[in-house]
Chains A and B, each alone.
Chain A
Amino acid sequence: MESGGNYSIMERFRTHVMLCSGMNCVDSGTMKIKAAFEEELRKRGLEGEIKIVLTGCNGYCAHGPVMVVQPDNIFYQSLTVEEVPNLVEEHFLKGRPYQKLLFKEPEKKLAIPQMNEIPFFKYQVLRVLRNTKLIDPESLEEYIARDGYQAAAKALTQMTPEEIVMVVKDSGLRGRGGAGFPTGLKWELGLKIKSDVKYVICNGDEGDLGAFMDRAVMEGDPHSVIEGMIICAKATGSRQGYIYVRAEYPLATKRLRIALDQCYETGLLGKDIFGTGFDFDLKIFKGAGAFVCGEATALMRSIEGKRGMPTPKLWRSAEKGLWDKPTVLNNVETFANIPQIILKGADWYRSLGTERSGGTKVFSLTGKVRNSGLIEVPLGISLREIIYNIGGGIEGGKTFKAVQTGGPSGGCIPANLLDLEVDYESLALAGSIMGSGGMVVLDETDCMVDIAKFFLEFTQTESCGKCIPCRVGTKRMLEILDRVTSGNGKKGDIELLEELGHYIRATSLCGLGMTAPNPVLSTLRYFRNEYEAHIRDKKCPAAVCKDLITYSILEELCNGCGACKRACPADAIRGTRKTPHRIDPEICIKCGTCFDACKFKAIMKV
């Protein structure tokens, strides 16, 4: 961990149990574990010595629920209510790590107790996520104990707006929302424009599929976002700000609201902050569920209470944004980077990353990777390091096929580019984008045409309908993909997809349309043969596209347990108990339910 931090807040208790309350862990039972823990500590008379803290997302989501014992830094995974008494007995009474719940190195099965020694954590550098597994996100004091609001104090009492802008510019920080526009430049524009009213907006409308970085920051360290916004307000001369939070994130909204209330109570927001005469008001606006609202102008229309439709960029938002007033808009992760940059300086920030892309980036690593979760790494790290060193490779012993970055606006990067160094330019050159930081790992059982269709279906549905290239163009592309995946592809379809894709990219009004063809174009670039197999041979090589495959039962492997028959929603499976079953191809809807239900791998799809 980069900063040693200040643990003074923790002195009253001998030990702290940092129980992850990120979504993935909570869904696997964190709250039950907490109750069992409290009960057990009470029984053993330890409640005055050991404190349980619900922290933000730990990141190691694949093995939830997880917890870290501090200050020993011992990591426990796959917690269960039943194991809590043993854990308390071993660790807190006998004083030795409880072997059974420690992380085990997959090959030699050696236990690794220290969190920092576990490969998943070892290769990470935590700047944005430096607090998420260490503090109670609902406690202002704990944030302050980790240098919280020192940067805001420095910016407000010792720095001029020009100086703040200069530091941010020198740091090389680029917008973490996707496009990578230099943050300092944006702030400089905001500062230069003269206006009686200016706004600062935080874009927390994390709409990309397979991305949950901003959620983790808003839920796990909400004050860092607020502090970044206060500094931005000072730098650009704004007195009013909004945090736009995605509708699907109720916990993030709640945590931000608690943090805002704490700031107003203590004078960190409102009138005359730090006695400097500087005023700043901050409000939360809940989004209502529209992907296009991640686009700056659409987001502003949404705050104005309108349909979230983008407006032509005749001028920059820094000149004319929300209610036609100058507006500086950055995303959650960008703001969360700011306090550390102000405190430690531009050179410190640039000490990691590449020449053109400084600092670290948070990624959500998901899909067919063994250690899925939330990670933060220096830019310039290779995809191979991310997927194999941190991610632990592909799950189930399958072969890596591609990694999808950037969500619906991004593309798929194939195996021969695994050594690509990740930064904004290199990903763009490879036909994808950095995007907000979603990374979905795909293996040999994923059909690339299906993936492209999946994303296009999404952007097609989410297209606001304002401009024709996006509204009609994506529809036509989707029709072609539908045709291809259902075995009705024609010669020339690939060329037509390419032509349409290029036109849509060149002529759409906003980023949604301009990037919508990316998943198709990038898979065409690297996996053209799969498209050809669908069109020419009417085959889906990965056996995914349902119209091109048939399901059947291998008699020799079927023991007639009846699991498939019970699971089949179409009643297409015949057979009596303990004798091999059979699928009626006439009735089968190819939903694949039986394939998932069979424990004996007796169901074939070809």
Chain B
Amino acid sequence: MEEALQNILTTYLKEDGNIITILQDVEENFGYIPEEAVIWFSKKLDIPASRFYGVATFYAQFHLKPKGKNVITICRGTACHVKGSERLLRGFRKRFNLPDGEDTTADGEFTIETVACEGTCSMAPAVLINGKVCGKMTADKLAREIKILKGKKTKKTADDNES
């Protein structure tokens, strides 16, 4: 970790960056903002950790917890909304029994997120599966995609074929 952080620091100094650019690099490197990283930068740059957290909690791009192995992002733009994206979201959360406030399944396999608008409104409802946009999504199609992802991880156990 130290080395990655050092690299980010070098870029920051070279390109005249700021807290946001540092956090963007951290997020890109680790997939979230680890507490150790914040403390490390706070000491190196003599900026209170609270300012890092102030920024990190303000912007949607930053996560304070690691994400699951697979990230399913449901677009919640207007066009997607009127074409049923909320139903997809509700169905997905129920399928994995995610309690309110929790976005990652207990086994760490899936994280479900929303994005305000992906800008692919002609493909509504759009869902990003590990960053790849899949348009005109239906609950059925999503279930199939999830099954495929699950299959990859566990090499198709009998259990998965059942569900």
Interface residues of A (CB under 8 A from B): 23-24, 26-28, 61-62, 64, 206-212, 215, 247-249, 286-291, 302, 304-308, 364, 366-368, 372-373, 404, 407, 438, 440, 442, 446, 451, 454-455, 458, 462, 464, 563, 566-567, 569-570, 589, 591-593, 596-597
Q: Report the interface size for chain B: residues with CB under 8 A from the other chain.
A: 45
CB < 8 Å neighbour of A367 from B24, B79, B91, B115: B79
Further 18 A-B residue pairs, CB within 8 A, beyond A458-B76, A567-B139, A569-B94: A27-B134, A28-B123, A208-B117, A209-B77, A209-B116, A210-B79, A288-B20, A289-B60, A289-B116, A366-B78, A367-B78, A367-B79, A367-B82, A372-B121, A404-B78, A440-B82, A569-B92, A593-B91
CB–CB B59/A248 < 8 A: no
Q: Closest chain A residue to B51 by CB distance?
A: A306
Bound Cα distance A464, B59 (Å): 10
CB–CB B87/A592 < 8 A: yes
Q: Which of B126-152 contact A (CB under 8 A)?
A: 126, 133-135, 138-140, 143
CB–CB A211/B119 < 8 A: yes
CB–CB A23/B120 < 8 A: yes
CB–CB B58/A290 < 8 A: yes
Neighbouring B residues of A366 by C-beta, 8 Å: 78-79, 121-122, 124
Neighbouring A residues of B133 by C-beta, 8 Å: 23, 26-27
Bound Cα distance A563, B139 (Å): 11
CB–CB B117/A27 < 8 A: no
A-B contact pairs, 17 of them (CB 8 A): A24-B121, A24-B123, A28-B123, A210-B79, A248-B119, A249-B119, A288-B59, A304-B18, A305-B55, A307-B58, A438-B78, A442-B82, A446-B82, A451-B78, A451-B82, A566-B140, A596-B139
Query: Contacts A458-B116, A563-B140: A596 and B123 contacting too (C-beta < 8 A)?
Result: no
**How far does the Cβ of B140 sit from chain A's closest Cβ, in whole Å?**
5
Query: Contacts A367-B79, A372-B79: A215 and B87 contacting too (C-beta < 8 A)?
Result: no
Bound Cα distance A206, B148 (Å): 34
Neighbouring A residues of B19 by C-beta, 8 Å: 305-306
CB–CB B20/A302 < 8 A: yes
Instruction: Assess whether B118 is interfacial by the CB under 8 Å rule.
Output: yes
Bound Cα distance A21, B151 (Å): 31
Bound Cα distance A44, B135 (Å): 33
Query: Contacts A306-B55, A407-B78: A596 and B62 contacting too (C-beta < 8 A)?
Result: no
Bound Cα distance A288, B60 (Å): 7
Bound Cα distance A249, B118 (Å): 8
Neighbouring B residues of A454 by C-beta, 8 Å: 78, 81
CB–CB A596/B87 < 8 A: yes
Most buried by B among A286, A442, A570, A592: A592
Bound Cα distance A589, B87 (Å): 10
Instruction: Assess whether B90 is interfacial by the CB under 8 Å rule.
Output: yes
Interface residues of B (CB under 8 A from A): 17-21, 23-24, 54-55, 58-62, 76-79, 81-82, 84, 87, 90-92, 94-95, 115-124, 126, 133-135, 138-140, 143
Bound Cα distance A393, B116 (Å): 27
CB–CB A592/B84 < 8 A: yes
CB < 8 Å neighbour of A597 from B23, B79, B140: B140
CB–CB A210/B116 < 8 A: no
Most buried by A among B18, B62, B117: B117
CB–CB A211/B117 < 8 A: yes
CB–CB B21/A305 < 8 A: yes
Bound Cα distance A71, B20 (Å): 46
Bound Cα distance A593, B138 (Å): 8
Bound Cα distance A563, B144 (Å): 13
Neighbouring A residues of B122 by C-beta, 8 Å: 24, 61-62, 64, 366, 372-373
Bound Cα distance A458, B20 (Å): 23
Most buried by A among B17, B138, B140: B140
Neighbouring A residues of B119 by C-beta, 8 Å: 23, 206, 211-212, 215, 248-249
**How far does the Cβ of A433 sit from chain B's closest Cβ, in whole Å?**
15
CB–CB A207/B120 < 8 A: no
CB < 8 Å neighbour of A288 from B23, B78, B94, B135: B23
Neighbouring A residues of B121 by C-beta, 8 Å: 24, 61, 210, 212, 364, 366-367, 372, 440
Neighbouring A residues of B61 by C-beta, 8 Å: 247, 287-289
Bound Cα distance A150, B112 (Å): 48
Bound Cα distance A307, B115 (Å): 20
CB < 8 Å neighbour of B82 from A291, A368, A566, A589: A368
CB–CB B94/A596 < 8 A: no
Neighbouring B residues of A591 by C-beta, 8 Å: 87, 90-91, 94, 139
Neighbouring B residues of A23 by C-beta, 8 Å: 118-120, 133
Bound Cα distance A368, B76 (Å): 16
CB–CB A597/B138 < 8 A: yes
Bound Cα distance A558, B127 (Å): 29
CB–CB A289/B59 < 8 A: yes
Bound Cα distance A243, B78 (Å): 26
Q: Closest chain A residue to B135 by CB distance?
A: A27
Most buried by A among B19, B55, B82: B82
Query: Contacts A307-B58, A567-B143: A209 and B78 contacting too (C-beta < 8 A)?
Result: yes
CB–CB A597/B139 < 8 A: yes
Bound Cα distance A591, B118 (Å): 23
